[in-house]
Amino acid sequence: MVNETRLIELFKTLITINAPSLEERECVDYVKNLLTELGIEHHEDDAGSKIGGNAGNVIAKLPGTKPEAPKIFLSAHFDTVEPTAGLKIIEEGDTIKTDGTTILGADDKAGMAASIEAVRMLMEQKPEHGDVYLLLNVSEECGLMGAGELQLQDLNLDYGYVLDTGPPVGSFVNRTATHDALDVTFIGKPAHAGKHPEDGISAIQVAAEAIVNMKLGRIAEETTANFGFINGGSGVNVVPARVTLRGEARSTSLTDLDAQITHMIECCKSAAEKWGAKVEIHHDRHYVSYTIPEESPVIQNAFAASRACGFDPFLRTTLGGSDANKINALGVPCIVVATGMDKIHTHEEEVSRQSLIDNARLAYELIVNAAK
């Protein structure tokens, strides 16, 4: 049985520890101290120093009681998309949220609390199970950076589960998109905007033309593109000589993604050529897609565990990324487990107490069922 009071209190504690990306030190230390108190073997890796953060990933191990059982991992991430300093918890019935001045941080403290509670249940109830690992990662929200530094070669993991997507609990993500980043800088020519504007080349005008000519938003059912950041100019009386755009494209189809990126780049080059400006373009593939077949052990175990908890399991596709993209790329099959966190990345984010309990039950069953 889930210790419901303990689980909810752990979740509340975790969300009140401020942990924006690259600044997770306090939360990492709290979890490491908790694991020490529980007598669970763990270590912190050097990911922090590699990605410019103040803390690394925490890898913990609970030795198995059934040597032939699969070696399984549960994973969640420490960081949140915004700082949560001063977070005020509001409870309305079964719902946990904030007063609206900060996000809640259930993404992904809900997954972390459920994973830790599942390990505690294993220690207390002592069912047969294989080796269990917790992969608790930093800096997921800023590009899966912590997971990108994981060293898993010596763990001999069979498969695992990343608790990091929205409801309904009992469903799973087994198919995702490839995500590309596109950073573009237009370089025009400065001039006094009041005296000699005709002598300048406005980088903002060049960028505007490029964007107007682009297909953005929903390109196809499983392909999207967006520019979400623009910065440039030095004053209203100066023709802007430099402006930078940062954007992205995502697709489950590499052919469609490559075509979209090529289109965006061509629009930028054409606009620069038309205005006599220069353009610098940096294209980077942040992470690659994965598709885990339904007949694979990681999914068959997930379905059986979900049904054992009384859920009706099904598979989902998402264009969002998670640490599962990086872990699958490392050769360890994994899927994403739905949690109850809802309205994530907004100040209306919330999670129900029941979904936290259900997640802990499911995480526990994922491990126990694999050993049967």
pLDDT tens digits, one per residue of 149-200:
999 999 999 999 999 999 999 999 999 999 999 999 999 999 999 999 999 9
* Contacts of residue 133, Cβ cutoff 8 Å, sequence gap at least 6: 59, 60, 61, 62, 71, 72, 73, 74, 155, 157, 160
The H or E element containing residue 8 is helix 4-15
pTM: 0.90
Domains of the chain: 4-176+289-370 (3.40.630.10), 178-287 (3.30.70.360)
Give the pLDDT of residue 179.
Answer: 96
Calculate mean pLDDT across residues 264-272.
Answer: 98
Calculate mean pLDDT across residues 293-314.
Answer: 98
Question: Pick the catalytic residue: 140, 180, 248, 349?
Answer: 140
Both tokens of 160, joined, read: 């695992």
Give φ, ψ of 294 to 5 degrees: -60, -30
Say how far apart CA 118 and CA 97 lie, in whole Å. 23
Give the pLDDT of residue 81.
Answer: 96
Give helix 106-125 / helix 25-38 axis angle, nearest 10°: 10
Q: What's the pLDDT band for 263 if we cut at 50, 70, 90?
A: very high
180 catalytic? Reply is no
Give the pLDDT of residue 4.
Answer: 97
**Matching residue, tokens 């300048």:** 200
Q: What's the pLDDT band for 354 if we cut at 50, 70, 90?
A: very high
Give the pLDDT of residue 236.
Answer: 95
Between the alpha carbon of residue 279 and those of residues 184, 236, 360, the distances in Å are: 7, 22, 51
Q: What's the pLDDT band for 141 if we cut at 50, 70, 90?
A: very high
Both tokens of 64, joined, read: 């198995």
Average of per-residue pLDDT values in the chain: 97
Give the pLDDT of residue 71.
Answer: 98
Give the pLDDT of residue 189.
Answer: 97
Give the pLDDT of residue 255.
Answer: 96
Question: Pick the catalytic residue: 79, 117, 158, 358?
Answer: 79
140 catalytic? Reply is yes
pLDDT (tens digit per residue) in 242-256: 999 999 999 999 999
Give the pLDDT of residue 275.
Answer: 97
Calculate mean pLDDT across residues 32-59.
Answer: 98
